[in-house]
Homo-oligomer: A and B are copies of this chain.
């Protein structure tokens, strides 16, 4: 039973990490700040290309600037690969495709990936570090007014 329990706990951790990835997207796209901030450890690092935000206060300010800059966004994630260093520390890589709506109606289709570190504390798994890497960014025409 102990061996079964360990295997089951691993599957549950993978399920919880998949959910963390989903809640990040839903929080960002639905502009639900509590949902978005709940995926991070208090001292988490969000590294988005030239910028690096440390701690939830900086992360909150950064996501709010994104919300000001875009009329809307949708993030989809795919292809998660998780490696466990221990049962409470893991690294992950996801692929991401997003569609953002600019203020003038044009859309930007972006592809990229997340390179993540996750840690499990008293409240479950959280993102300790997320590095977002953009691989392509393509402007799509605005829909006919």
Contacts and interface: CB of A to CB of B under 8 A. Distances in A.
Contacts of A75: 79, 95
Interface of A: 1, 4-5, 7-8, 11-12, 14-15, 18-19, 21-23, 25-26, 29, 72, 74-81, 93, 95, 97, 99, 101, 107, 109, 111-113, 135-141, 143-144
A107 B121 CA distance: 42
Nearest to A98: B111
Given A11-B12, A136-B99, A22 B81 contact: yes
Contact of A26 (B22, B81, B143): B81
A81 B15 CA distance: 10
Q: What number of copies of this chain does the assembly contain?
A: 3
Contact of A137 (B76, B112, B136, B143): B143
A4 B7 contact: no
Nearest to A25: B79
A107 B77 CA distance: 20
Given A4-B4, A72-B135, A76-B79, 10 more contacts: A11-B11, A22-B78, A22-B81, A23-B81, A75-B79, A76-B95, A78-B78, A101-B136, A109-B109, A138-B141
